[in-house]
Structure 1
């Protein structure tokens, strides 16, 4: 086992408790769901190797060792860590040239510029002689918009849902490989590098362990309070 993940699975599973205690951490309990500090079993080396071969990538070392030593999915920041199987569906299948989307270069800046330029050239009805010609042009424009919007996340894994349509991404190709980004297209801000507690760059391990270091004292304080022992839940973070 790598030093970075030593004891982490046990630390996470130790935080399982009653819903009212786990509710102190966002995403742990949500209606009948939430990650509830559960973790799926880790992947085997063979399972991980098959996934990497299918996706035509080698995952960053800390994410790779997380899948092998901590869990294939489950408890983590926000609503938890998505299973790797989610990346093997048609949702993130091949790019138009047949190469898996995950293996394509991560380049949100240039793609966003293309998308912005494309939006400025949306067809206008007054520029066309008839409705049929206009709608043909508009549907072609709309299809291209969808292609560019999807291309924004090429080269990245969607590893977690933050809620309200925001997602956490792990970059697996290019200069940003190994770093966490955020998909905040839901509020019109595209993709931005993740920043937490003043850090300008976060690896997957820093993202996950930072969350655990924050969540652990909150749950333990809530457990003490529920047992009638002194403990200030509000100050535990």
Structure 2
């Protein structure tokens, strides 16, 4: 079941809260289809106002909405290590050589203490919306800030760098619309 659609005023409020314009295809979906519901993999995250603040939530974690950090662009895989080192150095910590799978996560824990893991995750998602729950720690992300604005990425939480592009059958990068329609077409074929 879909969440209720958002009014233009509510969408404007979301954009004002985060200081960013949502990609047009996603903005249209929110206004014409719903603010969450069925979708690729398990579900789309739901855009909701909780205690006066907009955020994206999924059924298994309603108490902790994803709050978009639009202060910088989403950083692609090849640039992520440079961003990690810069953040650690800005915090006064000289990073060690990273473990292959965890990247600089241990360094973040040392540099930022108990909040280190959270800082690492929030920085890694900067400029993107957690758009879908794909199960088993895998998620879908809609890029909102940066040169790949409007494209989607898949994240496997067990890998670093954990984001890979969603591509269509022709190898083109999916946008929200093409990604969602491809899922709908697949579901329709399965029902027939």
Aligned to 1:158, which of 101, 109, 130?
130
In structure 1, list runs of 5 or more residues that go unmatched: 1-37, 94-99, 123-136, 222-237
Change (3 A) 1:42 1:149: closer
Change (3 A) 1:83 1:119: farther
TM normalised by structure 2 equals: 0.72
Contact 2:131 2:142 in 1 (8 A): yes
Change (3 A) 1:217 1:54: same
Contact 1:72 1:84 in 2 (8 A): yes
Identify the residue that residue 203 of structure 1 maps to in structure 2.
175
Q: How far apart, CA to CA, are the structure 2 residues paired with 1:118 and 1:146?
A: 17
Contact 1:112 1:190 in 2 (8 A): no
Q: How far apart, CA to CA, are the structure 2 residues paired with 1:81 and 1:121?
A: 33
Please say if 1:44 is aligned against 2:23.
no
Aligned to 2:33, which of 70, 88, 113?
70
Change (3 A) 1:121 1:68: closer
Contact 1:114 1:148 in 2 (8 A): no
Aligned to 2:43, which of 80, 84, 87?
80
Task: Tell me the CA shift for residue 159 of structure 1.
Answer: 0.6
In structure 2, list runs of 5 or more residues that go unmatched: 49-54, 58-62, 86-93, 100-107
Q: How far apart, CA to CA, are the structure 1 residues paired with 2:43 and 2:109?
A: 39
Change (3 A) 1:198 1:44: same
Change (3 A) 1:171 1:121: closer
Change (3 A) 1:187 1:140: closer
TM normalised by structure 1 equals: 0.60
Q: What are the equivalent positions in structure 2 for 1:119-138 lying under 5 Å apart?
A: 120=97
Larger Rg: 1
Identify the residue that residue 112 of structure 1 maps to in structure 2.
81
Q: How far apart, CA to CA, are the structure 2 residues paired with 1:73 and 1:159?
A: 9
Aligned to 1:139, which of 110, 115, 126?
110
Aligned to 2:20, which of 57, 62, 74?
57
Higher strand residue share: 2
| CA RMSD between the two structures | 2.8
Task: Tell me the CA shift for residue 189 of structure 1.
Answer: 4.3
For residues 48-71 of structure 1, give each alpha carbon's deviation from its aligned partner in whole angstroms, at most 9, with x where no partner exists: 111111111110100000000011
Aligned residues: 163
Secondary structure at the residue paired with 1:84? strand
Contact 2:66 2:129 in 1 (8 A): no
